[in-house]
Every structure is written in structure tokens, then in C-alpha cells.
A = this chain, B = another copy of it.
Amino acid sequence: MNSTNQGGEASASPTLETVAAVAGVSRATVSRVVNGGSRVSPEARAAVEAAIAELGYSPNRAARSLVTRRTGSVALVVSEAEARVFSDPMLAGITRAIGQALADTDLQLVLMMVPPGPGRQRLTNYLLGGHVDGVMLMSLHGDDPLVKELSDSPLPVVLMGRPMSPLPIPHVDSDSVAGARQATEHLRGLGRTRIATIAGPTDMCAGVDRLLGYREALDGPGLVAYGDFSMASGEAAMAELLRREPDLDGVFAASDLMAAGALRALRAAGKRVPEDVAVVGYDDLDVAELTEPPLTTVHQPLPAMARAMVASLLAQISGDPAPESVVLPNPLVVRASA
């Protein structure tokens, strides 16, 4: 018995006004009920709730946002370049995890890619212009000006991965140094003595830290070739390592994708994995189970990291004092490659 909107065109959405009329109260009271306000009598509340249900009312975000100065949305910012290579599978995983972590909230997830070139400035302006309540940055390269600009602003921000330069910006990371150390120690535990590493970019903390962990475990400089986290770069790096040290018997690759590339190069060189060369990857993405043999790798706790990022943002948005950064542990997952 919906007495409103009789014989109308495509019926306009009900507003607070409509609900108030149906419930027989003022707009203010409806607003209080909708926002979980306390100063409402049980009768008024019941009437309002009934009216809301009857009308299928849902508040107009724009109107609310205009007065509260909150948008109800947070941005997940990834650079387009990253999206194309290393973070593709990583991105899928973290995006999904963040989406789920956000599900309990009524924040909505806006996905933004950092375009190369002039579009960058537009993005920065946009973020700083109050169009989102907070920003999650996928670990960008160390020198990225965006990080500094955001950290200088009052906008809530959280970084996935430690910033390269020591900026006062909350971040969520997994313990890459420990993870890499663990991976390398696993290889040593297998009796391997000539262990090389395929390191990531030196301008990303994940690259730097994993190399550091490798060296800590080896207690020396080790044998290093660099990649950019992609499979192709891993394949090339492995080929190079074999040239430099034909007898190596273990490799720690700083990403699963690079490990997959290494597997391919090893196969091309006629090496058996793990018999001749044991291989350990990093991330524990789905690909780690796809390779032949499946990869022993360091597990990144994406869901927990996503929850921590969301928690940090929520704390900042609600004005809590400087939330600390969190570093989560990442255990080794042993499969067949080492």
C-alpha cells in the first residue's frame, strides 16, 4: 500500500522528507534514526524504521557528504606501470583482500591508477581535493613524489610497504627481511652451498629488504642478479646467474613471478629442480602452485595486511592519534621446488 508516488513517472527515490511524512515525524528525527542517534524515543524510531522499510529509503550520499564533509569513499591507488608487471597478481590479491576488509565498513572502494605523465598531477589534485576520505597506496617506487605530497597533507593515508625515504607515514608491511632470511636459511638447511638470489628493484623497499635478508642469512654479499619482479626479468636474471656460476645449487627469487621465470631458464639449461638447483620464491600467489614444480615460497598474509590498512585508515579518519605502522610475519610455505 505504497501511497506515495501514485501514477508517477519513474518514481523519484524517496527522500528524508518523504520518510518523515510517512512516519509522521520531522526530518531531523528521521536523520537521527538513520544515523543511529540515541536521542530518539522507541515509538518514533519504530515508526521511522517502518517507513524506511516501506519506502525502500536509502540516504542520498551527495547530500550527506555535502554537510558532513565526508565522502564515504577511500581510494586504492596503484601505478599503472606496476599494474602491468609485478603487481598484476599481487594487485588482484590485495584488491580483493581490501574489498573484503572494507565490506563491514560503509566506505566504498574507489580504484585509481596513477597515469604516467600529466595525468599524475590531476590525480594528486583530486586526492588532495577532498574527494576521498583516505588513500591506500600500493608500494610505489621510493622516489615517488606522490608519497611525499600525501604525507605532507592532512589526508589519511596508509602505505602498503615501508616508504623508501623515512617519511612519517603509516604503513603496513610484512617482514621482508625476515622472510628472505628464512627462505635463504631453508636453502642452506637443504645442504645447498652455492646460493644465488634474484633481487627486486633497488628503489623499492620490497626489493631492498629481501636482498638484505638474503645477505644476512648468508653472512656475505652472495651472488646477485637483479630483476623487476616480472617473470621475464627472472628468466633473464637466472640465465645470467648460470653464466656467472654454472655450479650454483640454490636460488632465492624475490617474487614468485621471477621464480617462475627462473624455473624456465633452469629447464632450458637442463637443470633439474630441485635436484640440481633448489628454488624459493616470494609472495605465495596463486602462480606458486601453477609452476612445475610448485614453488616453495614465502607467504604474504594479504588478508591480514588489508585489514590492517583499513584499520589504520579508519583510525585516522576518526581522528585517532598517529596510528602506528604494522609489520606482519610471513611464514615459509614448503612445496616441491626446494
A residues apposed to B, CB below 8 Å = 10, 13, 56, 58, 60-63, 65-66, 71, 73, 76, 80, 83-84, 88-89, 91-93, 95-96, 99-100, 103, 108-113, 115, 119, 125-126, 129-131, 154, 231, 260, 263-264, 267, 286-287, 289-292
Contact: B130 with A113, CB < 8 Å?
no
Contacts of A267 in B (CB 8 A): 292
CB–CB B231/A290 < 8 A: yes
A183 to B254, CA, bound (A): 36
User: Contact between B103 and A119 (Cβ–Cβ < 8 Å)?
Assistant: yes
B residues less than 8 Å from A13 (CB atoms): 129-130
Q: How far is the CA of A63 from the CA of B64 in the complex (A)?
A: 10
Cα A88 to Cα B93 in complex, Å, equals 8
**Distance between Cα atoms of A113 and B306 in the complex (Å):** 15
Q: Is the CB of A62 within 8 A of B73?
A: no
Instruction: Report the minimum CB–CB distance from A338 to chain B (whole Å).
Output: 17
- Additional A-B contacts beyond A58-B131, A62-B63, A287-B287 (8; CB < 8 A): A10-B154, A62-B71, A88-B286, A89-B89, A92-B92, A100-B113, A108-B112, A110-B111
Q: Oligomeric state, in number of copies? A: 2
The A interface is mostly helix, strand or loop, or mixed, namely: helix
A131 CA / B95 CA spacing, docked (Å): 21
Q: A60-B130, A125-B56, A130-B13 are in contact. Are A110 and B113 (CB under 8 A)?
A: no
Query: A231 touching B289 by the CB < 8 A rule?
Result: yes
Q: Are B109 and A58 in contact (CB under 8 A)?
A: no
- Collect the chain B residues with CB atoms within 8 Å of residue A103's CB: 113, 115, 119
Who on chain B is nearest to A126 by CB?
B58
A236 CB → nearest B CB, Å: 14
Task: Please determine whether B260 and A73 come into contact, CB atoms closer than 8 angstroms.
Answer: no
Cα of A136 to Cα of B95 in the assembled complex, Å: 17
Interface contact B89-A91, CB-CB below 8 Å: no
Q: Is the CB of A111 within 8 A of B83?
A: no
Q: Given A13-B130, A63-B66, A92-B91, are A125 and B260 neighbors across the interface (CB < 8 Å)?
A: no
The complex places the Cα of A328 from the Cα of B68 at a distance, in Å, of 45
Separation in Å of the A146 CB from the closest CB of chain B?
16
| Cβ of A230 to closest chain B Cβ, rounded Å | 10
Q: For A62, what are the chain B residues with a Cβ–Cβ distance below 8 Å?
A: 61-63, 65-66, 71
